[in-house]
Amino acid sequence: MIAATMACAVLAAVWAGESDQRGEEGEASAASRPAAGAAAPGARLLKVAAFESPTYLTAPPGDLNRRFVTERAGRIRVLRAGRKLGRPFLDLHSRVSTDGEGGLLSMAFAPDYARSRRFFVYYTDRDGDLRVDSYRASSRFANRTQRGSRRAVIRVKHDRSNHKGGQVQFGRDGKLYVAFGDGGGGGDPGENAQNVSKNLLGKVVRIAPRAGGGYSVPADNPYVGLPGRDEIFAYGLRNPYRFSFDRATGDLTIGDVGEQEVEEIDFVPVAEGKRRPRGGVNFGWDVFEGSRPYEGGSAPGHLPPVLERPRSTGSCSIIGGYVIRDPSLGRLRGAYVYGDLCASGLRVARLRSGGAEGDRALGPKVSSLVSFGEDGRGRVHAISLEGGVFRLAPR
């Protein structure tokens, strides 16, 4: 069994396990909790609450009192002033498949959410396909979703149980970015990631969702007017499960899960004079795995990763994080925090074009790390699929 299949098996086994049912109100120090591990100088983890197989955390723009947590089975929960509300914000479990690496994997609020009440969810449907749908919050009850408000935005056919991607997020340019895996299987058997005309698998797409459903393609996308799917923003990715934008600069960072030898972090800064990163980037898969040749062929314009973690270090599935902009974290501001499903220790590094500096263990550990998330204050959270959600805080 190749390393990639082993990693997928680990992920599926974790997702099939029991969730932590020990819900807590408020935020308690995690320093004494085995699941979170010991903290290092400058950072510790505070436990926010426990959920049923949580997968992501975010908040509406400017909302300083609420945090929204997606649960793998298809529910979104609200934390308001540190208290977990009993009624889900949204329950779409009847539409969601949790087979393999599937489930409700992330969500994003529209930049104009305060006016439009629109938000977006990324999930795998009952056929295993990748879907992004939009909903509206209720106009009467802020912590509920309006009935009948679902609108289909984008659907991508996916025939295998792994490499589902999972991230949906708005950039500083107001456009919606979505990351899709390469279609699954070992070595991209469908040859999707390097083909910009075939489909959207193994790509990051950039779209402008329409209020009534569907989307339009921004005129400045890199393949508009050229051969290739107009939605594509970047390609050559294996399983870009988590990506993020630096809230201060707009730079794009992607954690792309490796195949056999390495896990990789990709970095694209904002283009000069633009509000978005440079488009049309080829990250190299499956001609390359990270910076290492993997399969014969060419990868025009290949941009190597800025950071790689060999599988020999205990990594199996990299979990991309966020550039820390929380003022309370002092010298960690501007550092990128990330982790791995199998290697539980959080890490930080300073990213720049062409490389990374100061990659080191941060200290805190999160078992079964499945995601990071940012709240409305810019505070970074680490999420364990076993149930715990933790906030990164000063020591």
| Range in 39-43, 146-150, 379-383 with the lowest mean pLDDT | 39-43
The b/e string for 309-342 (b: 16+ C-beta within 10 A; e otherwise) is: bebeeebbbbbbbbbbbbeebeebeebbbbbbbb
Predicted confidence at residue 220, as pLDDT, reads 96
**Rounded CA separation 345/342 (Å):** 9
Which of 144, 145, 153 minimizes the C-alpha distance to 125?
153
Predicted confidence at residue 346, as pLDDT, reads 97
Q: Under a CB-based contact definition with an 8 Å cutoff, are residues 390 and 36 in contact?
A: yes
What is the residue whose two structure tokens read 């730079």? 251
- Looking at the DSSP bridge assignments, the partners of residue 164 are none
Percent of the chain clearing pLDDT 90 (strictly above): 87
Would you say residue 26 has pLDDT above 60?
A: no
| pLDDT, mean of residues 124-150 | 97
Three-class SS state of 218: coil
For residue 272, name the pLDDT band (cuts at 50, 70, 90). confident
Would you say residue 190 has pLDDT above 50?
A: yes
Would you say residue 228 has pLDDT above 80?
A: yes
| pLDDT, mean of residues 193-220 | 97
Predicted confidence at residue 28, as pLDDT, reads 57
For residue 100, name the pLDDT band (cuts at 50, 70, 90). very high
pTM recorded for the entire structure: 0.92
| pLDDT, mean of residues 182-198 | 96
Q: Is 168 exposed, middle or buried (0-12, 13-18, 19+ CB in 10 A)?
A: buried
Predicted confidence at residue 271, as pLDDT, reads 87
Would you say residue 38 has pLDDT above 60?
A: no
- Looking at the DSSP bridge assignments, the partners of residue 308 are 264
Distance of CA 69 to the CA centre of its chain: 13
Which ranges in the chain belong to alpha helices (H)?
3-15, 113-116
Predicted confidence at residue 296, as pLDDT, reads 85
Tokens of 38: 């010991």
**Rounded CA separation 115/131 (Å):** 25
**Rounded CA separation 241/341 (Å):** 12
pLDDT, one tens digit per residue, over 335-350 is 999 999 999 899 999 9
Predicted confidence at residue 27, as pLDDT, reads 63
Would you say residue 35 has pLDDT above 50?
A: no
Predicted confidence at residue 15, as pLDDT, reads 41
Predicted confidence at residue 337, as pLDDT, reads 98
Q: Under a CB-based contact definition with an 8 Å cutoff, are residues 392 and 29 in contact?
A: no
The overall average pLDDT reported for the chain is 91
Three-class SS state of 342: coil
**Rounded CA separation 109/365 (Å):** 29
- Is the backbone of residue 185 left (phi > 0), alpha (psi -120 to 50) or beta? left
pLDDT, one tens digit per residue, over 291-325 is 999 998 899 999 999 999 999 999 999 999 999 99
- DSSP state for residue 26 in the 8-state scheme: S
**Rounded CA separation 392/149 (Å):** 35
Q: Under a CB-based contact definition with an 8 Å cutoff, are residues 305 and 265 in contact?
A: yes
For residue 40, name the pLDDT band (cuts at 50, 70, 90). very low
Predicted confidence at residue 13, as pLDDT, reads 40
Predicted confidence at residue 33, as pLDDT, reads 39
**Rounded CA separation 395/393 (Å):** 6
**Rounded CA separation 292/304 (Å):** 9
Query: Residue ranges per domain, the chain?
Result: 3-393
Q: Which CATH superfamily is domain 3-393 in?
A: TolB, C-terminal domain (2.120.10.30)
In degrees and rounded to multiples of 5, residue 328 shows phi and psi of -75, -10
Distance of CA 173 to the CA centre of its chain: 18
pLDDT, one tens digit per residue, over 352-371 is 999 999 999 999 999 999 99
